[in-house]
A and B are shown apart, each in its own frame.
Chain A
Amino acid sequence: MARIQPTPGADGHEPAGATGPSGAGRRKAVRYAVPVAVAGVAAATIGIGSALATSGDPDLPKITAQELIAKVAASDVQRLSGSVRVTTDLGLPSLPSGISLGGAMGKAGGEGKGKADANPAGKLTELASGSHTLRVAADGPDKQRVSIVERAAEYSLVRNGDQVWAYDSGSNTAYHATAPKNAPGPKNAPGKGKGRELPDGLADASPQELAKKALAAAEGTTDVAVDGTAKVAGRDAYRLTLKPKQSESTVGTIRIAVDAKNGVPLKFTLTPKGGGKAAVDVAFTKVSFDRPSASTFSFTPPKGAKVTEGKPGGDGGHGKGRLPAAPGTDTASAPKTTGTGWATVAELDAGKGAGGGMGAGGKGVGPKGGAHGKHAKDAEKLLDSLGSKVTGSFGSGRIVSTRLVNVLLTDDGKVYAGAVTKEALLKAANSAR
């Protein structure tokens, strides 16, 4: 059978003389070099692209830490929209198979609802681990929107005036609540357009909220410094570093990138003292300070969607379901605290079912005990697998530790939690007795 060989002139541009065996071999090699070159160029582009993205700190006039903090405080940006990347690695203990933390948290809230519920409290716990993309938009103090971008689905939280809607497209469920109209006010939330009374806690996941809280906690107990500049979401920013002075704190450093023009915090990174990856990293990947279109904030539940009504202002667990991002600084939900600044230890009386809510830093403990009894046994088992036993003059209990937060659950139903070392936690428990 005769071979049909490539016709030399038909495809290549070699002269007719280069058709000897060596010429054919070389031509073959040259041809195969093309895909290799394409792949190489692509790899190089990707490499250079990511290298460019990380380097290239902008040249900005020098500024002191005080001036920068003042700038953040004076920042009066009411309108913004953009994408936020939230990466949390709190080092939560891995749970025995079949028990998801989210499920445990949902039950702890005493609501007993499963996944098919657009209640914001449950969604928060999802943010407590892994990487998520959030899209935020705000227009003034009473129009906000936060959506969690999911795979082929989206969870949106829309606030328009006194109407608060949450919509989960994955399960086609909605949640509705009414917020007190006068609640957020620019007094409480100067310039950042995120109402404190928003019964969601999701708004607190924005870099602005986190930065404000960290700065509020900073006074007196923290070394604050300006550490060069950075480029975040295409905008020039100063980098502010906060280091807790107190040795009990488990917080290593907090870095906040502040927009050089309007003082909006664009990136918030919290590194635990133990080192390693950042425990919390929240950053704008895209940001615009133009007015978002009005339709962004309008929501009507689609036909057939199951709507859950919430109590005005949000019920039980919501206010406490905040991201455990800046523990010890969250004055709104701390029931009883000892210690100051970063070394604050929160003390809760959790009754019998202390187990359920400790996951995300002890802040999600629901006040309703209803579901607790049922799950007490599960919780007991869970605790044995998670915590290490400790004893002290307070009695005995278990300590559950994460990279950032340590939680002490005493056998008589008290919970001590804080972003402090185990020793400090035991001391607080002992002195409370």
Chain B
Amino acid sequence: MSRAEPGAAAAPVAARPPRAAWRLSLFRNEITTVFRRWRTLALLGVLAAVPLLVGIAVKIETSDGGGSFGTGDGGEGPAFVSQITNNGLFLVFASLAATLPFFLPMAIGVIAGDSVAGEAGSGTLRYLLVAPAGRTRLLLAKFASTMVFCLAATLVVACSALLAGAVLFPLGDVTLISGTTVSFGEGLLRGVAVAGVVAASLIGVAALGLFVSTLTGSGIAAMATTVGLLITVQILDQFPQLHAIQPYLFPHYWLSFSDLLREPVYWDQIGRNLGLQGLYAAVFGSAAWARFTSKDVLA
């Protein structure tokens, strides 16, 4: 920062545009690095395939019996699955509910864990640091690009599910889980909101992964640690004996996105979820900053 200070002090107006553009270019650079990797594209491809698989499975399951899935045998399947045959839009919600516990955060864990440690492992981090950008800004760019990936991954699942749902099942007025019927347009709008909440639910994992990534010089180690932490926390979230700490575990309110499908919308849990993700972002983001800006980069 101090490098640009004299110029900024002399002509603040003139100095601003290049600085903003510069900042953006670092971010843009990070985004292209993330999205040009084959592993990123493969992850997105797998995520896009999940709704397709769910849709086809439901279609096959219901095509011979003719009845609704999940009502015949008395058991309740995964969330929203029983409504898919009547409205393809529910494939979006079912797919998000199916991928949110592991698939999506795992993908985020891979990207976030790799972000700093991967560069350190391949020896490119030192070149990034040689550029006069400052570590804080580099870290911010990395975190921002990870969050863009959160959104992209969620949208890939949602869009693929919407496409598959539209092809395989009828669309139309949506019966919310409260039993209230709304128009398809409003249902779609709620679907967009759901995707937004799901993407925001992943911020906690992203921050955690970024922090882990600053701790080690090995990308694989960082990814494995992040995904391992995710699984551990998910398991902890299952034990009823641990109910005292569960409200503070980042996946605890993940399924709260379904509260957007109630009428009226039940905001309590969504608010808690977003607050918790913000808290994780603040704590682990600042921890990552503390670590990254004070460590010696050896590779």
Binding site for B on A (CB under 8 A): 1, 3-7, 9-12, 24, 27-28, 31-32, 34-35, 38-39, 42, 83, 114-116, 135, 147, 149, 151-154, 156, 158, 165, 167, 169-174, 285-286, 293, 295-296, 298-300, 302-306
From the candidates A3, A115, A169, A286, name the one contacting B179 in the complex (CB within 8 A).
A169
The distance from the CB of B271 to the nearest CB of chain A, in whole angstroms, is 12
B170-210 at interface with A (beta carbon < 8 Å): 172, 175, 177-181
Considering only CB atoms, which chain A residue lies closest to B296 in the complex? A3
A10 and B1 CA atoms in complex are apart in Å by 5
7 contacts between A and B (CB under 8 A): A11-B1, A31-B290, A38-B279, A115-B74, A153-B258, A172-B71, A302-B87
From the candidates B71, B130, B279, B299, name the one contacting A173 in the complex (CB within 8 A).
B71
A303 and B174 CA atoms in complex are apart in Å by 10
CB pair B268–A83 under 8 Å, yes or no, is yes
12 new A-B pairs (CB below 8 Å) besides A158-B179, A306-B67? A11-B134, A34-B290, A35-B283, A35-B287, A151-B255, A151-B258, A152-B255, A167-B179, A170-B82, A286-B268, A296-B264, A305-B86
CB pair B177–A4 under 8 Å, yes or no, is no
The interface residues of chain B lying within 8 Å CB-to-CB of A6 are 135, 293-295
Considering only CB atoms, which chain A residue lies closest to B128 in the complex? A4
CB pair A10–B71 under 8 Å, yes or no, is no
A195 and B84 CA atoms in complex are apart in Å by 35
The interface residues of chain A lying within 8 Å CB-to-CB of B297 are 3-5
Q: Is B213 an interface residue (CB 8 A)?
A: no
A39 and B284 CA atoms in complex are apart in Å by 9
CB pair A115–B293 under 8 Å, yes or no, is no
A285 and B87 CA atoms in complex are apart in Å by 33
CB pair B179–A299 under 8 Å, yes or no, is yes
CB pair B76–A170 under 8 Å, yes or no, is yes
CB pair B296–A115 under 8 Å, yes or no, is no
CB pair A34–B286 under 8 Å, yes or no, is yes
CB pair A306–B71 under 8 Å, yes or no, is yes
A27 and B282 CA atoms in complex are apart in Å by 19
The distance from the CB of A109 to the nearest CB of chain B, in whole angstroms, is 16
The interface residues of chain B lying within 8 Å CB-to-CB of A114 are 74
The distance from the CB of A105 to the nearest CB of chain B, in whole angstroms, is 16
The interface residues of chain B lying within 8 Å CB-to-CB of A156 are 178-179
The interface residues of chain B lying within 8 Å CB-to-CB of A158 are 179
Considering only CB atoms, which chain A residue lies closest to B70 in the complex? A171
The interface residues of chain A lying within 8 Å CB-to-CB of B268 are 83, 285-286
Q: Contacts A35-B286, A116-B75; is A28 near B294 (CB within 8 Å)?
A: yes
The interface residues of chain B lying within 8 Å CB-to-CB of A300 are 175, 181
The distance from the CB of A286 to the nearest CB of chain B, in whole angstroms, is 8
The interface residues of chain A lying within 8 Å CB-to-CB of B86 are 172, 302-305
Considering only CB atoms, which chain A residue lies closest to B68 in the complex? A304
Render B40-62 as a binary contact track against A, CB cut-off 8 A, 1 for contact.
00000000000000000000000
